[in-house]
């Protein structure tokens, strides 16, 4: 019988040693959060796990263990003849469950019996989660951040993607959070991840950055939709220099209608967002907005919302910050050529900036 190796650490270097990481928790547990890159081969389905837990509480431990063991044996057997059937002799997976207990031990024991060099993460997912929390909440990151700032509708997210295509290091927080960072920011095609899943994705992206090179990140509040930006990153964002992009309000309104096409088509979602405005509009103003919505005059509605809510909120945030931007880029339009020009100018500014490592 091959010896099962115990892995004590869940840091990126330790995990990178494994070509395959197997999460044997139930699909529901896996969906909430998991080690990045892990595959899910659950030894108990969600229904089986619930059934075994109920039997354990309401009937007996022995019966729960017997039924659970039968499910585990059957499920692992299925993986051996299906998902794992073509693995070579050199296959060397890392296996984990919730806390490194019987579920992962069962899988690791059988894989080891087959002859594969199998490792077990001591403490399971909880070991990994403690690592994520320590890195994002307790440590100081020497990141040379530059904030991409500007009023709502100035194309910041699109510009960020253009910067990445030009070779700058970027962090797309809105992409990782599944949210566009406003009352209308939810994405129709996918819900936001939970906080743990967001932090796993964020940590993986941060650990891949070169601290000696600048990193451009879109200026955000401390919350993106329902998710919180962890302290390790937020502290850096608070002191980072800013590049501000500006465009005429009517041009920004036109851009928003195009960028938020999924929301524009959902009048009920727009109505719900209007009711969540921090500055509650008068009934007369709300009726006027509903008229614009009914008439399909989305650009006029966007301009009205920027005038009442978004632009004043950005101005308040900048006054509170108190620092002047390192550069301002004024755009006449937010069409492709102007966005490309903005990206080129930002690349020049960032690469010329002598950013010392922050400690």
For the chain, 359 residues long, give each residue's pLDDT as a single digit of tens: 458 999 999 999 999 999 999 999 999 999 999 999 999 999 999 999 999 999 999 999 999 999 999 999 999 999 999 999 999 999 999 999 999 999 999 999 999 999 999 999 999 999 999 999 999 999 999 899 999 999 999 999 999 999 999 999 999 999 999 988 776 666 666 789 999 999 999 999 999 999 999 999 999 889 998 999 999 999 999 999 999 999 999 999 999 888 887 777 778 878 777 777 766 777 888 888 888 888 888 889 889 888 888 888 888 888 887 889 999 999 999 999 999 999 999 999 999 987 554 44
Which residues neighbour 297 within 8 Å (Cβ) at sequence distance 6 or greater? none
The burial of 3, by beta-carbon neighbours within 10 Å (0-12 exposed, 13-18 middle, 19 or more buried), is given as exposed
**Helix orientation angle between 283-295 and 267-275, rounded to the nearest 10 degrees:** 160
Structure tokens at 156: 């910041």
* Of 44, 55, 97, 205, catalytic: 97
Q: What is the DSSP string of 37-48?
A: T-EE--SS-HHH
Give the model's pLDDT for residue 356.
57
Taking the alpha carbons of 34, 38, 43, 46 in that order, is the dihedral positive or negative?
A: positive
Residue 173 near residue 229 (C-beta atoms within 8 A): yes
Active-site residue flag, 209 = no
Give the model's pLDDT for residue 187.
62
Nearest CA among 223, 192, 226, 225 for reference residue 31:
192
* Rounded CA separation 239/249 (Å): 28
307, HSE (Cβ side, Cα atoms, 13 Å): 13
Give the model's pLDDT for residue 1.
43
Residue 122 near residue 98 (C-beta atoms within 8 A): no
Residue 339 near residue 158 (C-beta atoms within 8 A): yes
Q: Does domain 139-352 have CATH number 3.30.70?
A: no
Give the model's pLDDT for residue 287.
86
Q: Return the C-alpha torsion angle 79, 82, 86, 88, nearest 10.
A: 10
Instruction: Give the chain's count of helices (H) and strands (E).
Output: 17, 12
Residue 61 near residue 55 (C-beta atoms within 8 A): no
Give the model's pLDDT for residue 189.
65
259, HSE (Cβ side, Cα atoms, 13 Å): 24
What is the model's pTM?
A: 0.87
CATH 3.40.50 segments of the chain? 139-352
* Topology of the domain comprising 5-133: Oxidized Rhodanese; domain 1 (3.40.250)
């Amino acid at each position: 019988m091959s010896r099962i190796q115990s892995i004590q650490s869940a840091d990126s270097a330790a995990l990178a040693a494994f070509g395959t990481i197997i999460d044997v928790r139930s699909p529901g547990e896996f969906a909430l959060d998991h080690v990045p890159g892990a595959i899910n081969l659950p030894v108990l389905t969600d229904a089986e796990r619930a059934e075994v837990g109920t039997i354990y509480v309401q009937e007996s431990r022995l019966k729960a263990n017997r039924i659970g063991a039968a499910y585990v044996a059957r499920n692992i057997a299925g993986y051996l003849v299906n998902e794992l059937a073509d693995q070579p002799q050199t296959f060397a997976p890392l296996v984990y469950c919730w806390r490194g207990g019987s579920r992962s031990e069962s899988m690791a024991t059988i894989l080891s019996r087959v002859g594969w060099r199998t490792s077990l993460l001591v403490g399971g997912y909880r070991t990994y989660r403690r690592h994520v929390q320590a890195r994002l909440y307790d440590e100081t990151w020497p990141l040379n951040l530059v904030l991409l700032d500007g009023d709502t509708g100035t194309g910041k997210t699109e510009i960020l993607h253009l910067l990445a295509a030009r070779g700058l290091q970027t962090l797309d927080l809105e992409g990782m959070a599944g949210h566009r960072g406003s009352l209308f920011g939810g994405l129709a095609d996918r819900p936001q991840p939970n906080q743990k899943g967001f932090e796993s994705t964020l940590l993986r992206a941060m650990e891949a950055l070169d601290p000696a090179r600048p990193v451009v990140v879109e200026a955000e509040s401390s919350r993106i939709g329902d998710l919180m930006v962890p302290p390790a990153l937020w502290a850096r964002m608070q002191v980072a220099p800013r590049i501000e992009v500006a465009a005429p309000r009517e041009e920004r309104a036109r851009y928003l209608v195009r960028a938020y096409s999924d929301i524009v088509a959902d009048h009920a979602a727009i109505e719900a967002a209007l009711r969540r405005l921090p500055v509650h509009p008068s009934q007369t103003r709300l009726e006027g907005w509903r008229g614009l919505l009914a008439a399909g005059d989305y650009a006029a509605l966007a301009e009205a919302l920027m005038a009442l809510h978004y632009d004043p909120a950005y101005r308040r945030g900048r006054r509170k910050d108190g620092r002047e931007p390192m550069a301002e880029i004024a755009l006449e339009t937010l069409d492709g050529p102007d966005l490309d020009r903005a990206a080129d100018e930002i690349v020049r500014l960032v690469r010329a900036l002598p950013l010392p490592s922050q400690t």
